[in-house]
């Protein structure tokens, strides 16, 4: 007898679905201000989901055991773009509005003896619908996250390979890249970019996504970041900072053991291949300087990079270091060359050149001012020696200009 009564209630509820769906759309339009601003197509999608939900509730009400998956399947009638049209918060508002409408309307459509049974079923069903909505949005978020990760890897790979163009800039913008960071946002000339390369961290089950952590930490430090794993190395493209080494010091924990090389600053993402080339060459040459700081700027590795076969580093040393020393009468070139050959002794240099030691000191000071490398510093003297050797190889005629 109870089963027969339940079947009758289900039939009466089935007959009321059309009126309930119409009332649901009217309630949404009345109580949800944002609903009326949607396009006709978007509203039709939502109406389809509402109709599907009410129909699914009736089927579930008729036999909960046979239709236990109905709450989850009700969102299947909506296209994937549904999650982009309205937020999870708005979806909750829709569900709440629909349930309230059914509770307020059901008394006009069904006999009074059916109301307690329908209300009890609605409470159970609403809980399942809430979980179903959360599942739909969680799956959509995971799909977007996976797509964003692939897109980000594509952008970083294009930068490394020197194929950055307007399409790459557009893709980076879709990922939230502005190139201006946060601390420098709105500052003219602040959109500088540097590429950072280091060893990839060892992957551990359950570890936090490195790319997400890097972007968050960079944002906290006032910079934009794009991040990608490329084999055994981690590549980060930093934007919106004039002090990338300081930013990378806060990101060092995300790299694996070994050197971290920061490429030179360039004006924008389109020019980032120059920074990437220097950073990658620096990572390859870094083992030749065991005492290098971590992180280290690629320009600090110019001698090691030149020895490892980096033609750009060779030309930079010959042009920026050797070239200025050949200008004029070439006395600075002769002085620093003699100083290095004399084992760094000012007195021995003065005797070899028949000049006063103070003259040697003055000339060495000028060398440091012109080149940025102090001959009295062991590291700088090594760079100067390599630069002089490269300059003589590339340009054997002093004063004639560097090739």
Per-residue pLDDT tens digits for 204-217: 533 447 888 888 89
Q: How many of the other CB atoms lie within 10 Å of CB of 33?
A: 8
Q: 320 and 279: one domain?
A: no
Answer whether residue 168 is part of any domain.
no
User: Is pLDDT of 275 > 80?
Assistant: yes
- Structural domain contains residue 257: yes
Residue after which a domain boundary falls, among 261, 279, 307? 307
DSSP state at residue 289 = -
* Residues 299 and 342 placed together within one structural domain of the fold: no
Based on the fold, state whether residues 125 and 182 are members of the same structural domain.
Answer: no
Same domain for 201 and 330, yes or no, is no
Given phi > 0 = left and psi -120 to 50 = alpha, else beta, which region is 222?
left
Query: Is 0.85 surpassed by the pTM of this model?
Result: no
Spatial CB neighbours of 266, under 8 Å, sequence gap ≥ 6: 192, 193, 194, 272, 274, 275
Residues 266 and 324 occupy one common structural domain: no
> Which pLDDT score, from 0 to 100, does residue 77 have?
47
Instruction: Give the confidence band of 183 by pLDDT, cuts at 50, 70, 90.
Output: very low
pLDDT, tens digit, for every residue of 123-180?
A: 777 766 666 666 655 555 555 555 566 777 788 888 888 777 777 777 777 777 876 6
The distance from CA 269 to its chain's CA centroid, rounded to whole angstroms, is 13
Within-domain flag for 153 = no
Residue 149 lies in a domain: no
**What percent of the chain has pLDDT above 70?**
78
φ/ψ of residue 153, rounded to 5: -60, -40
Whether residue 80 is predicted with pLDDT greater than 70 in this model: the reply is no
In which domain, by residue range, is 288 found?
176-307
Residues 71 and 131 occupy one common structural domain: yes
Residue 337 pLDDT > 60: yes
Whether residue 311 has pLDDT greater than 60: yes
Do 129 and 69 have their domain in common? Answer: yes
pLDDT of residue 205: 39
What counts of helices (H) and strands (E) characterise the chain?
Answer: 18, 5
Q: Sign of the C-alpha dihedral, residues 104, 109, 113, 118?
A: negative
Residue finishing a domain among 122, 143, 164: 143
Same domain, 251 and 379: no
User: Where residue 331 sits, what CATH number does that domain have?
Assistant: 1.10.10.2840
* pLDDT per residue as tens digits for the range 50-60: 777 777 777 77
Sign of CA dihedral 212, 218, 224, 226: negative
| Domain of residue 239, CATH code | 3.30.70.2730
Last residue of a domain, one of 257, 282, 307: 307
For residue 186, the model assigns a pLDDT of 39
Domain count, the chain: 3
Same structural domain for residues 6 and 128? yes
pLDDT at 133: 63
- Assess if residue 18 is contained within a domain: yes
């Amino acid at each position: 007898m109870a089963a027969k009564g339940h079947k009758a209630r289900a039939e009466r509820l089935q007959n009321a679905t059309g009126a309930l769906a119409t009332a649901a759309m009217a309630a949404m339009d009345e109580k949800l201000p944002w609903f009326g601003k949607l396009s006709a197509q978007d509203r039709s999608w939502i109406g389809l989901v509402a109709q599907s939900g009410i129909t699914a509730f009736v089927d579930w009400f008729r036999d909960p055991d046979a239709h236990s998956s109905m709450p989850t399947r009700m969102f299947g009638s909506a296209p994937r773009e549904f999650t982009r049209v309205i937020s999870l918060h708005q979806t909750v508002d829709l569900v709440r509005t629909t349930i309230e409408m059914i509770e307020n309307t059901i008394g006009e459509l069904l006999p009074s003896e059916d109301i307690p049974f329908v209300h009890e079923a609605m409470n159970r069903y609403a809980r399942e619908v809430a979980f179903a909505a959360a599942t739909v949005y969680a799956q959509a978020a995971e799909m977007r996250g996976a797509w964003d990760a692939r897109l980000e890897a594509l952008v970083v790979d294009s930068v490394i390979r020197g194929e950055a163009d307007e399409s790459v800039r557009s893709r980076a913008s879709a990922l939230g890249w502005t190139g201006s960071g946060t601390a420098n946002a709105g500052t003219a000339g602040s959109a500088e970019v540097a590429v950072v390369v280091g060893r990839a961290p060892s992957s551990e089950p359950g570890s936090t996504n490195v790319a997400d952590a890097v972007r968050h930490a960079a944002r906290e430090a006032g910079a934009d970041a794009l991040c990608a794993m490329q084999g055994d190395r981690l590549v980060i493209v930093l934007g919106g900072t004039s002090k990338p080494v300081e930013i990378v010091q806060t990101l060092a924990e995300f790299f694996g053991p070994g050197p971290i090389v920061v490429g030179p600053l360039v004006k924008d993402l389109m020019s980032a291949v120059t920074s990437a080339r220097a950073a990658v060459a620096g990572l390859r040459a870094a083992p030749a300087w065991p005492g290098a700081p971590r992180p280290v700027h690629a320009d600090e590795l110019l001698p090691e990079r030149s020895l490892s076969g980096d033609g750009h580093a060779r030309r930079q040393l010959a042009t920026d270091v050797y070239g200025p020393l050949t200008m004029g009468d070439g006395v600075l070139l002769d002085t620093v060359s003699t100083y290095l050959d004399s084992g760094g002794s000012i007195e021995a240099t003065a005797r070899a050149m028949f000049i006063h030691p103070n003259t040697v000191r003055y000339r060495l000071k000028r060398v440091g001012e012109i080149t940025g490398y102090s001959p009295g510093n062991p590291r700088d003297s090594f760079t100067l020696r390599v630069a002089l050797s490269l300059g003589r190889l590339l340009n054997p005629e002093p004063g004639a200009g560097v090739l």
